[in-house]
Amino acid sequence: MSVQVQMRDIHRRMAREHQCPQRPTRWCKQFGESSQRLTSVANGLFSEQRYQLEKPTTVADFNASEGCFLILTLAGESRYHSPSLKRACTFSMGKVTLGFAAKNEHYTIALQQPQIQQYSFSFSKPVLHAYLQEFDDAELLRALERAEETTIFNQIAISPTQRALLEKWSNTPFCGALQTIHQEMCAHELLISLLQSLSAQRAARPALRDSDRDRLQQAHAILLHDIQNPPTIKALAQMCALNTDKLIKGFKAVHGDSIHKTLVHARMQRAFVLQQQGEKSVQQVAFESGYDNVSYFIRVFKREFGKTPGQLLKERRFFI
């Protein structure tokens, strides 16, 4: 059985039965393992996906029915591409992505890190439309109504509050019926927080021309090309033909984070992967992630993940 067919059958079976498997599902020996847990919540589905890969890889699939999604990437990185999208959408660690998937849309997913951990809400268009009406975001409502092809509406950073809710959902102290109630409560609270954050971020977004957005996409690529030796803000602005003020404000509007935070998230993502591999010392991981001061690196790492690199290596497991 092909990778794409096997993955599609797993997704369909889980969505149909609303089951929450507790053990990893072997989906392709040559690529690794995946596991999923689904919860019916707020007239939609909330799911957790974890992938443990032997190596980064690309798989293909298609979406059987149209719907809206909110994808939260807690670890790793994946890239989604479909014919409808002008450019591939990257689901990076620490980001929330709001989008619409068209019916029977063919797409490819590049899983670009050995470990991937993502959470997602899936809704029909009318359900999400009803929720968004509460936030008086006329622009987003119009975009949702017009959406017929696969579209990415917005992408923002996951807040500390939302991270805490994900931890509560994953590490519920209950089992059976109480576990279901607890997880549904966490999922509802998380959904409200996400919709509020997305609406607030769009309201603060400055008007940008398409040419400016292209330059800001270029700035993002240049910034992350060499995270050990990134350009200064002034140099980055010159390289992208933008003034520094438009670069700073526009970068956060388009990418959901400041230039500094984007760089820190990218460095922490690299550090996370290197530390999980367990083949390098903390000093080596710090240096390869762009930090000369090991003590400062450890503080940033703990602030990002709630654990020091040493604690993560001992305690963090993607599959329970």
Q: CATH for 210-315, among 3.40.50.300, 1.10.10.60, 3.40.50.261, 3.40.50.620? A: 1.10.10.60
Parse the chain into domains and list their residue ranges.
3-203, 210-315
At residue 11, the pLDDT reads: 46
**Percentage above 90 pLDDT, the chain:** 30
Q: How does residue 13 score in pLDDT terms, banded at 50, 70 and 90?
A: very low
Q: Which fold has domain 3-203?
A: Jelly Rolls (2.60.120)
Q: For the chain, what is the mean pLDDT? A: 81
At residue 19, the pLDDT reads: 41
Rounded mean pLDDT of 264-280? Answer: 84
Q: Is the pTM of this model over 0.85?
A: no
Give the pLDDT confidence of 17-69 residue by residue, as tens digits.
Answer: 334 433 333 334 445 677 788 888 889 999 998 887 777 777 777 677 789 99
At residue 80, the pLDDT reads: 85
Give the pLDDT confidence of 220-248 residue by residue, as tens digits.
Answer: 889 989 999 999 999 999 999 999 988 99
Whether 5 has a pLDDT exceeding 50, the answer reads: no
Rounded mean pLDDT of 291-307? Answer: 89
Give DSSP secondary structure letters for the chain.
--HHHHHHHHHHHHHHHT----S-EEEETTTEEEEEEEEEETTEEEEEEEEEESS-EEEEEEESS-EEEEEEEEES-EEEE-TTSSSPEEE-TTEEEEEEE-TTEEEEEEE-SSEEEEEEEEE-HHHHHHHHGGGT-HHHHHHHHH--S-EEEEEEEPPHHHHHHHHHHHT-S--HHHHHHHHHHHHHHHHHHHHHHHHHHHHTPPP--HHHHHHHHHHHHHHHH-TTSPPPHHHHHHHTT--HHHHHHHHHHHHSS-HHHHHHHHHHHHHHHHHHHT-S-HHHHHHHTT-S-HHHHHHHHHHHHSS-HHHHHHH--S--
Rounded mean pLDDT of 73-86? Answer: 82
Rounded mean pLDDT of 298-308? Answer: 86
At residue 171, the pLDDT reads: 86
Give the pLDDT confidence of 196-210 residue by residue, as tens digits.
Answer: 888 776 655 566 787
At residue 7, the pLDDT reads: 42
Give the pLDDT confidence of 133-177 residue by residue, as tens digits.
Answer: 888 777 788 889 988 888 888 888 888 889 889 988 988 889 989
